[in-house]
């Protein structure tokens, strides 16, 4: 009998500008992702940066970049983008429904 190692779980990183005081924003987003994806993630790392940076990536795939994507993302958008990379078949429930859609 051989034990095959479990594949590594996705690692999310959130790089935030320390000069802009975006640590709380980054921490809140990390909490949202961990609450939604829980055991499906290997971790969420907060990375201090500078120059107005705010980027969210998973395993090197850029999900959001503040300057490129126009400001800060809603958690719903990042959850959808993360899901599309790590588990496209996963249903996010209310986060997948358009605003105002019936449950």
Please give the domain boundaries of the chain with CATH numbers for all domains.
Answer: 11-85 (3.40.30.10)
User: Residues 26, 49: contact at Cβ < 8 Å?
Assistant: no
Instruction: Give per-residue pLDDT as tens, 64-86.
Output: 999 999 999 999 999 999 999 99
In this prediction, the residues of the chain whose per-residue pLDDT falls under 50 are: 100-103
CA distance 71 to 87: 26
Joined together, the tokens standing for residue 85 give: 């990379």
CA distance 32 to 37: 9
Give me the pLDDT at residue 102, please: 47
CB-facing half-sphere around the CA of 85: CA atoms within 13 A: 21
- pTM for the model stands at 0.86
Give me the pLDDT at residue 93, please: 83
User: Residues 73, 85: contact at Cβ < 8 Å?
Assistant: no
Give me the pLDDT at residue 98, please: 56
């Amino acid at each position: 009998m051989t034990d095959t190692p479990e594949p590594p779980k996705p690692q999310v990183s959130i790089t935030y500008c320390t000069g802009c005081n975006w640590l709380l924003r980054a921490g809140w987003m990390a909490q949202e992702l961990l609450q939604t994806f829980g055991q499906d993630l290997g971790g969420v790392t907060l990375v201090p940066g500078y120059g107005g940076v705010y980027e969210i990536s998973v395993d090197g795939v850029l999900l959001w970049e503040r300057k490129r994507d126009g400001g800060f993302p809603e958690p719903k958008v990042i959850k959808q983008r993360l899901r599309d990379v790590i588990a496209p078949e996963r249903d996010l429930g209310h986060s997948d429904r358009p605003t105002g859609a019936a449950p």
